[in-house]
Amino acid sequence: MLIRKRLTYANIVATLALLFSMSGGALAARHYLITSTKQISPKVVKSLKGKRGRRGPAGPSGAQGPQGEQGPQGAVGPSTGPAGGDLSGTYPNPTIGEAKVTTTKLADSSVTSAKIADGQVRAADLGAIVEVKESTTVAANGDGSVSVQCPTGTVVISGGFQPGVFGVEATSSLRSGNGWLYQAVNKVGSPETMTVKAYCLEA
């Protein structure tokens, strides 16, 4: 069969159509080329996510950061450990050691009579006892009285009396202030002496 070498209108149109179709596909391919995950729908990206891989090796330690500010002081905790000084046992519940409470460690008036067991205070534990006395003359067949006071720094603890002769009879003998009072009647027909005594404890 003989092929004509002349170009016809139909041949030119067909050739151009072929060229446009090929170049158009290339342009379309270049236009829809994916260059970023932002071009893909998040749902599609999520569905394409694979399993987590194995943990990689730890990187080198970074430089030490600056020291932070000092925090507030915390509450004082309970004491622990063995007790010392006048205490024995261990904290938090130590006890007073044996023979550690001495006179110099007691406050004035801190020990009352209610704190002292019966029979624990002996005569040797008391201060010195001072005797003071005073005498007077009572008229014949008359009444008389005489008193005496303990010296400063002492306290009266007892008292008594002494008539000069029999016949001078006591009508009262009792404490009076910080001393003692003696009252009597003289039934003798002559003036007689009567003496009162007070016993004072040094404070």
What tens digit of pLDDT does each residue of 97-131 get? 888 888 888 888 888 888 888 888 887 788 899 99
Q: What pLDDT, on a 0 to 100 scale, did the predictor assign at position 198?
A: 97
> Which ranges of the chain does DSSP label H, i.e. alpha helix?
9-31, 42-47
Q: Give domain status of residue 89, yes or no.
A: no
**78 is a domain residue:** no
Domain-located, residue 103:
no
Tell me the pLDDT tens digit for each residue of 1-56.
Answer: 444 555 555 555 556 555 555 555 554 545 556 666 666 677 766 666 667 788 88
Domain membership flag for residue 18? no
Token pair 């596909």 is at which residue?
A: 25
Using one digit for the tens of pLDDT, what is the confidence trace for 136-168? 999 999 999 999 999 999 999 999 999 999 999
pLDDT at residue number 107: 87
Cα–Cα distance, 147 to 198 (Å, whole number): 9
177-200 tens-digit pLDDT: 999 999 999 999 999 999 999 999
Q: Within a domain: residue 106? A: no
Cβ atoms within 10 A of the Cβ of 41, count? 8
Whole-angstrom distance, CA of residue 115 vs CA of residue 103: 15
Which residue type occupies 31?
Answer: H
Query: 164 lies in a domain?
Result: yes
A 10 A CB-CB count for 88 gives 14
Inside any domain, residue 152 = yes
Q: How many domains does the chain have?
A: 1
Three-state DSSP class for residue 36: coil
Is residue 69 left, alpha or beta, with left meaning phi > 0 and alpha meaning psi from -120 to 50?
A: beta
**Which pair of tokens denotes residue 203?**
């404070």
The arithmetic mean of pLDDT across residues 48-66, rounded, is: 81
User: Hey, which residues does 202 pair with through a beta bridge?
Assistant: 154
Does residue 59 belong to any structural domain of this protein? no
Per-residue confidence (pLDDT) for residue 118, from 0 to 100: 87
Range of the structural domain that residue 139 is part of:
127-202
